[in-house]
Structure 1
């Protein structure tokens, strides 16, 4: 089939929950994707922060083939080899004592919500804690618990009523959280870096204040690091920048090198509240995903690799800030950390910029109506960053 036939078939048979551009991606190598017409694209989306090691990475492909050749799936009724190995790596390199595996970021968040409430019921039986505090402008996924705890009304429209017991405070406003806390509040839920909401960082004092508040009020602190975790910000986990440790944390996107996976990490105190039968995932702890995850995690957690990510991130932000300073006000603000960056534009639609980049062979994405987002694979080189920034400068000159 030619390109248009593929697009026509997709539009005829696949539910149209995305508005896709009129090309079809066929293969990838390194940080470059190629469409069915042979046109290359420098990828600064990386599968929405999934393809941390780029495309065609030999470590990923070898681990995938080796495990698939032995065992693909048996369900969680039985022990398998890769899952406990990956769980040990995650626990030994984080605050966590236990891990629950699932298949995606939104599933890991749903698990976090359930585990937090179960902890509240088990530890406060006379007056159970079950209320949750989330943040305005947050994003946690598309399933019901996830959208109910997402502080963006546009994701709620047409799907109400949302799950009860969830209220919303403001990012970097500790007082707004304190006003919502009562004796039934079980957890405060935060993205250390709000990604889909426009690339917003937490202030260190805010996260430290949340940790202190949670300790004082006997609440859990829950971090969503689905997009900002696993090396994206230049440290293995984003919370390391702040010196603030959560009780529960969700991971997903890059963990299995492009294969579906989600992970909910927790302390032993939280784990003690969860019993067999409380939660499950048929495909969770999938042997192939976990086998690949072991090798990916070893790469992402290597100090020399993280140093390279930090250097690349510093270069990206330096170039963006230079463009801002010379943009005649077209770029209002540069946001982000490491290799997740956003440029807030001055009355310039981010979707138009995405199209302009794509016409020039570069893939970027939006993080709001006026924020263009840069999410390159973590193996990106400075030369590739310079090319994207040079094209950005060229585009700005036309506006």
Structure 2
């Protein structure tokens, strides 16, 4: 008998240690991790600078309530603003960040309608779940929070038809992660952003999975020529320490006056000490350029593999080190993931039949080669014939 709710479908292995970009299970088997803990461990495992930051803060003070000043919050907020006029609110997860974004948008505009997109994923708390455009996530939890409208992703005509005088915000992911690693079309997104600007609609970008260097820039939106009014972050920001953040334009700051929103643990000193160090490491030109180079290596290798007739790869999508391989069927995908795990490579699923690859941003070039070799061996039974 387990004393846990069965709400997670767990693998019958337990990881007990991690180092660099590898995990080790209880039996001693070692795995190259191409999941990053679902996009969390952007800097890999047992990173000495992060360990030191956490231990140093732990020896001083774990927690103070948000009744007092917190210089670490100020430092992290400034780093997250990245030279732009954003202010930050700190919480503990991506779902919490999205809840804050929805509240901010409705309060700031005095309107209630929020447009999101089919196959999106924004979290499992009530507001975030209601923003998520997947009926499977909603099942059994109706009635949802009202006034969410779900539209096809990358479809401008339907978006323009749906906008009305009660539209407070549009909320979207730069790449729909859980929905199948589906990138936003650049032309569509620029026109959508312009429409929002013209009509006074707030643009909320959910960068919980794409942010903190995952796509080769600090934020994925920077590659699209747009600038959101509200930005949400989590996952890689704490590299395993629970932390979330919502950024909003300076003109929205007074909307969250004292007493309007809060979190007991949000922005605690342990989380902030790690987030501060994560941003010091990630947000440098050398680090982000290396992510872009490794992305090219991974996509090139996968493209060669996809050319093999027996590979079963129908499409390759993504940006940076966020990659989706569309396979023939859900059954084929599940078989593939099992075989990859047996060969020591951990991967993820997205949508029905997409293999999602999210290696740590610290992945080494030789480790990418190792992962490609495992994929090639599993998919076509041996190396590619030159």
| Other-structure match for 1:105 | 94
Please list, as runs of the form range in 1=range in 2, the aligned pairs for 1:260-271 lying within 5 A after superposition: 260-271=242-253
Does structure 2 conserve the Cα–Cα contact (< 8 Å) formed by 1:138 and 1:151? yes
Please list, as runs of the form range in 1=range in 2, the aligned pairs for 1:239-250 lying within 5 A after superposition: 239-250=221-232
Compute the displacement of 1:215 (Å): 1.3
Separation of aligned partners in 2, 1:324 and 1:156: 35
Compute the displacement of 1:346 (Å): 1.4
Please list, as runs of the form range in 1=range in 2, the aligned pairs for 1:1-399 lying within 5 A after superposition: 12-91=2-81, 93=82, 95-121=84-110, 129-328=111-310, 330-347=312-329, 348-397=331-380
TM-score, structure 2 length as denominator? Answer: 0.96
Change (3 A) 1:243 1:311: same
Does structure 2 conserve the Cα–Cα contact (< 8 Å) formed by 1:256 and 1:293? yes
Q: What is the number of residues matched between the two proteins? A: 381
| Other-structure match for 1:124 | none
Separation of aligned partners in 1, 2:321 and 2:98: 23
CA RMSD, 1 decimal: 1.3
Q: Which runs of 5+ in 2 are unaligned?
A: none
Separation of aligned partners in 2, 1:349 and 1:154: 21
| 1:146 match: secondary structure | helix
| Other-structure match for 1:3 | none
Does structure 2 conserve the Cα–Cα contact (< 8 Å) formed by 1:329 and 1:346? no
Change (3 A) 1:95 1:115: same
Does structure 2 conserve the Cα–Cα contact (< 8 Å) formed by 1:208 and 1:244? yes
Q: Which runs of 5+ in 1 are unaligned?
A: 1-10, 122-128
Dislocated runs of 4+, deviation >3 Å: none
Compute the displacement of 1:326 (Å): 1.1
Compute the displacement of 1:114 (Å): 0.3
| 2:64 match: secondary structure | coil
Separation of aligned partners in 2, 1:143 and 1:151: 14
Does structure 2 conserve the Cα–Cα contact (< 8 Å) formed by 1:96 and 1:265? no
| Other-structure match for 1:4 | none
TM-score, structure 1 length as denominator? Answer: 0.93
Compute the displacement of 1:29 (Å): 0.3
Give a deviation string over 1:20-55, Cα, whole Å, max 9, x none. Answer: 111111000000100111110110001111111101
Give a deviation string over 1:139-166, Cα, whole Å, max 9, x none. Answer: 0011111110101110000111111111
